[in-house]
Structure 1
C-alpha cells in the first residue's frame, strides 16, 4: 500500500496545512460552543478542491458543527493510529491503508458499520477494498479509493512494429518478440523492463491461474503457495523475463532502480506499473507521455483481463468517537457519487462508485478502470504488514526461481514456510 500511496502523493498536490497529533472527538470550540468533527485523511488522498467543497457542504447540513480536517503523513502513521485509536479522544473519521485495516478491525478499535453498508453505497463497493475492511463477518472499513497496475507501453514503437494491444498472454509474449526484433540494432533496448521481485505483478498471474497465496479459516491464515497454479504463475513470470531479455535486476523490486526512471530513458518498450509512473518518466523525457499508452494486464484466457492487486485506502470510524452520528453522515457524503467522481477525475479508482467515466479521460486511466473491475486484495490478515515491511517471502521466492537457485517446488515450499511463520 505505502509504496504506491507515496507515489500518489507526488502526483496530487494537497496544499492544506498539516495539523498536529491530537484527536479531539467531541471537542468544543471555546469561542462559539461548536461541536467539532475531527477527520484524518492522508497526504495525497483527496484534492483540495474536493475537501473544500465537501466540508462546506457538510457544515451547511450540520449547523453548529465544524470539520477539523487534519492531513496525516504516511511515514509513521501506523504507530500514530495505534496510539490515537486507543485513546479516550480519538479522531472521528480516519483513513486507513487497506493492508492496515485488518489489524485495527481485530483489535476492536473501529466501529462496526455493517448496518450502514447500504446507505454508504455498498452495492457499488470495490470488492478488493471491501474484503480488507471486513473481519469475522462484520464491516469495519468503507472503501475510499484505489489504484492498480497496468501495462504502460510506447505506442509509437508499437505502431512502428505493427503491434496491436495484446488481449491475451500469448499475444503479449508475441508483442514482446516483435518489439525485440524491430529494435534488434540497439543492444540497450528492452521490450519489457521487469524487475525480478515485482511481486504485485506475480499476484496477477497467480490469481489468473486460479491460485492464491493464503487461505483463511476463522482467524488463522495458511499459505497456499505449494500449488500447481502458483508454479504456473512463476513459469509465466520467467517467460516474460527470458523472452524480453530484460536487464532489470532479479534480486530487487521495481523501485531499485525506479522503473519509471528507466522507462523515461527511452530504451524500454513496456513496464507493468501505476498510471502516474508516466509522469515520473516524463521528468526525464518530456515527450514520453504523448508517446505512451496503456492496456490492462492480459489474462491467459483471450479477451479477458488478469485480476489485479488493488492497493488503496478505506475510511473508518474509531470505536471511541463521541460523534458516531456525525461521522456516519460524513462517510455518507464522501462516499456519494458526487465526491467519488471527483476522486476519479483526480486519477483514482473510486471506492464506492462503478462510474469511472471521469477516470477514463486518459488512456492510462481507462486501462486502470478496465482492470479495476477484476481487482483483488492480499489476505486480510492483521499481521500482513509484517510481510510487506519485512523480508517478503514472495520476493525471495521469485529471485530464487528466476536465478535458478531453487526449482519451483523448493522455492514455493520455502516461501510457504516463511509466510506461515509471519502470519502465525
Structure 2
C-alpha cells in the first residue's frame, strides 16, 4: 500500500467520533421533499447545488460504516494478499470520500457520530456485527460492501431493523429479501429498462433485434428489457430474437430497413462472441443504418474497439460516469487532494455522493429515510431517484445513456 493509504488505514482503528466542522466542500445535499411526477426509471433529479437549511445543532445523527479493511493483516507475518489489498483500498477510498462529505455538512451546522467497523470480509465476523448494539442503534448502517457480506449481515430470515445502505454493489435486492435495504447502484434490471425507455422515447423504431449469444446469462438483461419495451411501446414495437452463430447476420437481411435505423440489442459481454458479432454489425452498417445498444459493462471491456463502436452507433447505460468538467467535480477533486494528498477513485466519488445525500437527509426533521422517493439528487457520478419495492426496500432506478463518439462516451440521456 502507498504510505498515505497505510497511515489512513492505521488511523481508522481509532475512529469513532463526531466529524469535525470544516468549510463546506463539493456540493450541498438534496432538497426538501419534491413532488414525484415522473416514471420510476429515469426521473430528472432536482438541482442539488442550492444551500440546504441548517439542521438544529442539538441533533446528532449516528452512522455505522462497515467496510473490509482487514486490519488484522496490518503488521502480521501473513500481510495482505493482492485480493485483500484491493478490498482494503476500496474501503479506504470510499471512507475518505464519505468522511469528506460529512465534514462538509458539519460546516453547515449538522452533527454526526461516525462509527467505523472492520468487517474483515469474513462472513462469520460480519454477521457478528449485526448483533453489535453500537451498529443496531445507528440511524443508518452503510455496508457491508460485497453481496456475500450483506447476506451474512442481514441473515436468514432477515433480522435487519435499521436502514442499511448497500454502498457499491448493484446486486439485485431480491438476493437479500429485506425491506430495510437501500440499493443505491441500479441493478441490471433498471439498466435494461433505461435502455428500453431510450429506444421507445428517442429512437422510436418499429422493431428491435435482440442478438443472443446462446449463453443463458443474456436473459438477465433480455427479460427485463422485453418487459419494459412492451410496456413503454404499448406492444407496438416488434421484438425479433436472433441467436448469432459465428457472427453471421445474413438471415436478418430480409427484415432490415435501408432508410430508417435498425436497432440491435447486444446484451453479451463474452469476448469471442462480441469480437465477431460487432465486426459483423460494422460490416452491416455500411449498407444499413445501424444503432446498437450494449450491456452496461461494455465500458469496462478493454478489448472493444472504439472505431467499431462509433460506426455501429453503440450506446450503453451507466450509473458510474463522472463529468470531470463540472464545477462541483473540480471542487471535489481539489478538496480531496488537499485533505488526502491523493487522487480520488470511483469509490471516493461514490463515498462522497452517498455521504452528502444521506447525511443531509439524516439531519432534516422527521425520518426522511422513509421518504427517499421525495428526495431526488444530482450526484457527481450519477443521479438518485428511489422507488420502494415491497420486500426489497428502496432502489435507485436512475441510469444515464451514453453514446460512443469522438473516442469517448458522450451522455445523450
Scaled by the length of structure 1, the TM-score of the pair is 0.36
Compute the TM-score of the two structures, normalised by the length of structure 2: 0.37
